[in-house]
Amino acid sequence: PAAVAPTREAGYAPVLLCERLDAVPQGLTGMEAAFPFYLVTDGCPPGSAARLIQSGRMQGAESVWLYLDLRRADWRRAALEVRSACWAGAWQGLAGLAVRCPPPSAAVDRQLALWHILRDVRSEVALWRQAIATVSARPDTPEGRARRLRRLATLQSIVGTTAHSQLRLYEERRPFRGVCRIRPSGGDRLRLGEFEAARSEVLSILGNVASEPAGERRSVFYQGIPLARDRQANWAIAAGDGEHAWQAALALQRAVQSAAGVEVPVSRSFPDLEAGGTAPELVWLIAEGAEDQNWPEPVRAALAARRGAALVGVRLEEGPLVAVLSADFDVEALARTFREQRELFPPAHRMH
């Protein structure tokens, strides 16, 4: 509609309020649509928003919002009804919630109660989504994979359509359409305790994630070698003579710390490989010109034969992998070779 253009120019984002997404004319739901946001009154049936997004008729998951008209709502029932609608909307992937409340001058006390309810509901639902995102982002290491999958399974079972879901969804029939809601677990009415139990489960999982050692939660690998082991840096950086090599070593140190939050030591001398369990498994060696006579013989031989190569790998006998770098190496390009998994290539289940 041409009437939308002036509102865009004024800095507003127009929205389309509807009761059924599938009833909106296709010309209003495409990528060139005048309306970037769609407010769906009371929600939509399970899967309808996802189908429209996947078919290309909607711009994306962030464009569909749940809309609730609470102008005449009884605040004593709203605590359950709003939770039921919002948890169902979160499971469907709706972007957020838009609410129409009574005017402040008409019902100050009722509006205040509704705002408290909306604040609590938003916090609960956002906490669940945050927990899924946090657990999903954990590094997929062999040590943490099973724990991560168990936590994700628990979070996904909090709300869903299966019999073992804590908050079980169903399609509530309305005139000419259906909406997604939470089914009471026992009896004919929802109880606030059902939502409180779900929130406690989410908080418990987030607490367990937060209590894990930082080194266990965040790590990167190079050629399958972990950055940290037993919370200690497992890599080391050595710089040859020259200011250029030293500055390059410091740049690499910053890149590693930015990638994983672990500070790798930098020194002018080659690390002590006789240090037993504390010896690094990977040594980054920044060379600027001639080799140092204190470096291991295989490293000096590789440096002499590299013929301008920016990166040369040398595996010392019963020792670390030494990655010899020229002082003018590309730090950003090197950092992109760091992986969050030990595998050099993604496993089959992550291939698309």
Mean predicted lDDT score pLDDT of the chain: 78
The pLDDT of residue 87 is: 94
User: What is the pLDDT averaged over residues 151-162?
Assistant: 90
Domain 221-350, second-level architecture: 2-Layer Sandwich (3.30)
Those residues whose C-beta lies under 8 Å from the C-beta of residue 161, and which sit 6 or more positions away, are: 46, 168, 169, 170
User: What is the pLDDT averaged over residues 209-224?
Assistant: 67
More confidently predicted of 270 and 3: 270
User: What is the pLDDT averaged over residues 91-102?
Assistant: 86
| Contact (Cβ atoms closer than 8 angstroms) between residue 307 and residue 326 | no
The pLDDT of residue 308 is: 61
Ordered alpha helix ranges (H), the chain:
4-9, 48-55, 75-92, 108-136, 145-158, 192-211, 214-217, 243-260, 297-305, 331-335
241, pLDDT greater than 80 = no
For 60, the token pair is 């994306």
Q: Which of 1-15, 77-91, 142-156, 191-205 has the lowest mean pLDDT?
A: 1-15
Closest CA to 283 of 233, 248, 214: 233
| Rounded distance between C-alpha atoms, residue 14 and residue 29, angstroms | 13
| Rounded distance between C-alpha atoms, residue 137 and residue 131, angstroms | 10
* Highest mean pLDDT: which range of 62-71, 218-227, 264-273, 317-326: 62-71
User: What is the pLDDT averaged over residues 300-314?
Assistant: 71
Bridge partners (DSSP) of residue 183 are: 168
Closest CA to 325 of 311, 315, 335: 311
| Rounded distance between C-alpha atoms, residue 196 and residue 166, angstroms | 11
Those residues whose C-beta lies under 8 Å from the C-beta of residue 54, and which sit 6 or more positions away, are: none
More confidently predicted of 167 and 133: 167
Boundaries of every domain in the chain: 4-212, 221-350
| Rounded distance between C-alpha atoms, residue 186 and residue 14, angstroms | 42
Q: Collapsing DSSP states into helix, strand and coil, what is residue 86?
A: helix
3-state secondary structure 38-50: EEEECCCCCCHHH
> Which secondary-structure segment (H or E) carries 283?
strand 282-287
Burial class of residue 274 in the structure, from the number of CB atoms within 10 Å of its CB (0-12 exposed, 13-18 middle, 19+ buried)? exposed
The pLDDT of residue 252 is: 86
At residue 72 the predicted structure's pLDDT band, cuts being 50, 70 and 90, is: confident
| Contact (Cβ atoms closer than 8 angstroms) between residue 40 and residue 60 | no
Provide φ and ψ at 167, rounded to 5°: -110, 100
CA–centroid distance for 220 within its chain: 17
The pLDDT of residue 181 is: 92
Q: Which of 3-7, 31-35, 175-179, 277-281 has the lowest mean pLDDT?
A: 31-35
User: What is the pLDDT averaged over residues 286-310?
Assistant: 72
Between the alpha carbon of residue 197 and those of residues 124, 158, 194, 200, 266, the distances in Å are: 11, 9, 5, 5, 49
**How does pLDDT run across 126-140, given as a tens digit for each residue?**
899 888 888 877 665
| Rounded distance between C-alpha atoms, residue 341 and residue 142, angstroms | 8
More confidently predicted of 318 and 213: 318
User: What is the pLDDT averaged over residues 238-252?
Assistant: 84
